[in-house]
Amino acid sequence: MKTHISAKHITRLMGGLIIVLLLNGCAGGSWFSYTGREAKPENRFVLKEGGPHSVIWHSPDLDLHYRYHLEGNQLTVEGRVVRQNRIKHFSRLKAWVSIHILDANGIILDTHRLWSQNGSDVYGFLRWDFKKSWQLPPDNRAVGFSFSGVAGGGGENGSQWDFWQTP
């Protein structure tokens, strides 16, 4: 009985894996996307026509203080990211916040980068403000948020805090 794997089998296996990855990419799919998934009920914010409407979104790591204006299918969001105590005193930050476009059932239709940062606040170089606009799909009814990041400081031996929230 053979117990070794031949180079021919490894080549076939690798070729099959590459084909699966290519087909997934060509189909517009992503294993790392939230599109098509349901947002948590506590992370669904119904959009009202007109505006500006002021909202504060709280999380243990970041708050979003923002205003939005919805005119037809055009959504404009502007505001500021506010660090909470868990990450407030770290001098380096690499983070991003995404906004998720939801339908009436809370299903994620699309995702956009709302804010991102990678730098040091030692000299006040971090940018906390954002302003973005998007054309929304016709069946859009709400938005949700997610974020991910790493805060650190103190040089080579400094501590680091990984933080995230899924939609």
Question: pLDDT at position 154, please?
Answer: 66
pTM listed for this prediction: 0.76
Q: How far apart are CA 65 and CA 121, in angstroms?
A: 20
The structure tokens listed for 13 are 């296996």
Query: Given this model, what pLDDT does residue 28 score?
Result: 45
The CATH number of the domain holding residue 104 is 2.60.40
> Of all helices (H) and strands (E), which one includes residue 110?
strand 108-120
3-class state of residue 98 by DSSP? strand
For residues 57 and 45, is the Cβ–Cβ distance under 8 A? yes
**3-class DSSP state of 17:** helix
Q: What pLDDT was estimated at residue 150?
A: 94
Q: List own/partner pairs for 40-44 with CB under 8 A and 24 or more apart.
A: 40/144, 40/166, 40/167, 41/106, 43/144, 43/145, 43/146, 43/167, 44/102, 44/106, 44/142, 44/143, 44/144
Residue 6 tokens, joined? 């031949």
Q: What percent of the chain has a predicted confidence (pLDDT) above 70?
A: 82
The total of structural domains in the chain comes to 1
Quick: pLDDT tens for 61-95.
999 999 999 999 999 999 999 988 888 888 888 99
In a domain, 13, yes or no: no
Tell whether 14 is covered by a domain.
no
Question: Is position 149 within any domain?
Answer: yes
Query: Residue 122 is part of which domain span?
Result: 37-165
Q: Is residue 17 part of a domain?
A: no
Q: Which residues of the chain have pLDDT under 70?
A: 1-5, 9, 16-32, 122-124, 154-155
